Amino acid sequence: SIKSAKNLYYEVENSLLNIFNQIKDNRDFSIDPVFSYAQDIVSHIRSQPNTWMQLLYKVENSSDSDTIKNIVKHSLNTSIIAARIGIGLKLRDERLEDLVMQTCFHDVGMLKLPSEIIIKMSKLTNEEIIILFGLPGPLDSIYAGGPLQAVRVKNKERLEAKRKIEEAICRTIRSY
């Protein structure tokens, strides 16, 4: 039997939350569970598109103080919207599943950012912009060898985590 949209959403959310926590903690992880969920999501959205859009409205409007959980929700919601758009564009299921997989992990680099920057509602400072985007700028010379050195290390960690995820996605997709 087909799982209900809400149950499937929460199963995928929990699976992604587990993977994102493993990534944040630099532990080994597998994206295989998400690949099988991608197939279920595509199938569900094809058969019940309105149910999924209503579900997104409900989960998007629920607040959670857990930064990682918010990143996971955002990533999952983005993948559902991307799948809905892909269906509208008449993409094949295989392409839709790839799209769901890729959008589930599109913001994984955010895991390496300080929570304060991710949830900040006001304008970012120059230092926060450098941390967020890893941009060299006029502050580079001011902080050379100081705090920016730590920023460079964090950005390197973000890029390494992203590279590992991309490799895992490619391996998984190739194996099917």
Q: State how far the Cα of 155 lies from the Cα of 6, in Å rounded to an integer.
A: 35
Please compute the mean of the pLDDT values over residues 42-54 and round it to a whole number.
84
Is the predicted pLDDT of residue 31 greater than 90, yes or no?
no
Q: What is the pLDDT of residues 117-132, one digit of tens each?
A: 777 788 878 788 777 7
- Provide CB contacts within 8 A for 110, sequence distance 6+: 71, 118
What would the mean pLDDT of 129-137 be, rounded to a whole number? 64
Q: Per-residue pLDDT for 106 more than 50?
A: yes
pLDDT at 147: 41
Stated pTM of the model: 0.68
Give 165-174 pLDDT, tens digit per residue. 777 766 666 6
Model pLDDT, residue 67: 81
Least confident span in 80-89, 95-104, 119-128, 153-162? 153-162
Please work out, in degrees rounded to the nearest 5, the angle formed at the alpha carbon of residue 111 by the alpha carbons of 107 and 112.
120
What letter does residue 123 receive in the DSSP assignment?
P
Q: What is the mean pLDDT of residues 152-171?
A: 65
pLDDT at 30 over 60: yes
Write down the residue that tokens 């700028």 correspond to.
137
Which amino acid, 176? Y
Please name the residue ranges forming H helices in the chain. Answer: 5-24, 32-47, 49-60, 67-88, 93-104, 115-119, 126-133, 139-143, 147-175
Integer CA distances (angstroms), 77 to 97, 105, 114, in order: 14, 11, 22
The H-assigned helical ranges of 48-125 are: 49-60, 67-88, 93-104, 115-119
Averaged over 155-170, what is the pLDDT?
67
> Is 127 in a helix, a strand, or coil?
helix
Q: What is the pLDDT of residue 141?
A: 42
pLDDT of residue 151: 44
